Amino acid sequence: LDPNPLHSDGMRPIHRAILSGDTDAVKTLLNAEVPADIPTEEVKEEDVLIFPSKTPMELAETLSDVSKVKREPSPRGARADVDG
């Protein structure tokens, strides 16, 4: 069983676990010695870069930045993560 297959979207299980926020899955994969430094594949459509290559740490940093934005109040004081 390959714990590190490349999916058609350019991501591996470690990338998917990070993006889903599933810390147990991330820990399990790292404990199984899945390389933590393998980047995603670039995703292009008609020669336009849709998703750049990112390492697991870069994906985690991206999620951290997004969650900070969601926690900041909007100009009217409403929460940014509440659909309106």
Q: Where are the beta strands (DSSP E) in the chain?
A: 43-45, 48-51
On the question of pLDDT at 81 being above 60, the answer is no
Number of H helices, E strands in the chain: 3, 2
Give the CA dihedral 12, 14, 20, 25, nearest 10 degrees.
Answer: 130
Q: What is the pLDDT of residues 20-36, one digit of tens each?
A: 889 999 999 999 888 88
Q: What is the pTM of this model?
A: 0.63
Tokens encoding 44: 């292009």
Q: What is the pLDDT of residues 50-80, one digit of tens each?
A: 777 888 888 888 776 665 655 555 455 544 4
